[in-house]
Amino acid sequence: MSNIARIIEVVEPEARALGYDLVRVVLYGKSEVGDEEHTLQVMAERPETGQLLIDDCAALSHRISDRLDALEESGEVLIDGAYRLEVSSPGIDRPLTRAKDFAAWIGHEIRIELTELLDKRRRFRGELVGFDATTNTISIEEDAVVYAVPFALVTTAKLILTDKLIAASRPIDMTGVESIVEEQED
């Protein structure tokens, strides 16, 4: 059985060593039977851009892979059986996983799922109207009602792709791209 907290403990220093912030680490495809391949998904970003380039993803993937292999060779197996490693940028409709994510995206539409019921609901979708760092409370407005959601109850949260989000996002870093080739119809 895999321990996600230990995996994060191993992955985070590898991301930091390259100057990246870890956004999320998720292990999918857990199977007690062992017939299903796991996928370790790692999302990271450059703090100054909120993105990772392809070369960044490759560099981080190699570091994580090498570190996990070294631990396995020394006897510490973090993921039972075969696994696939996916390293990516969080994207424009990014998951919100850290308190600073909620503070940074106030004014945008989000979807939140909770670990337990709040006002007889687990899911909320609306405008992120505030984040109180003192109480770690997220304020989300849905249908003219503002809900105070404790950060500790959030199991998943994600920005919703809207025109406002597109306008507020940084342009994609095109570093290293020499030209864009457009296909023409015959």
Please enumerate in sequence order all residues whose Cβ is within 8 A of that of 111, keeping only pairs 6 or more positions apart, or say none. 123, 124, 125, 157, 158, 160
Tens digit of each residue's pLDDT (9 = 90 or more) over 125-163? 999 999 999 999 999 999 999 999 999 999 999 999 999
Domains and their CATH numbers in the chain: 4-88 (3.30.300.70), 99-168 (2.30.30.180)
Question: How many CB atoms neighbour CB 66 within 10 A?
Answer: 11
- Cα–Cα dist 125/123, whole Å: 7
CB 107 within 8 A of CB 128: yes
The tokens for 157 are 């949260």
The predicted pLDDT at position 119 comes to 93
- pTM higher than 0.85, yes or no? no
Q: What distance lies between CA 63 and its chain's CA centroid?
A: 18
User: Given pLDDT bands bounded at 50, 70 and 90, which one contains residue 172?
Assistant: low
CA distance 96 to 140: 13
Instruction: Give the residue with greater pLDDT, 33 vs 81.
Output: 81
CA quadruple 118, 119, 121, 126: dihedral, nearest 10? -90
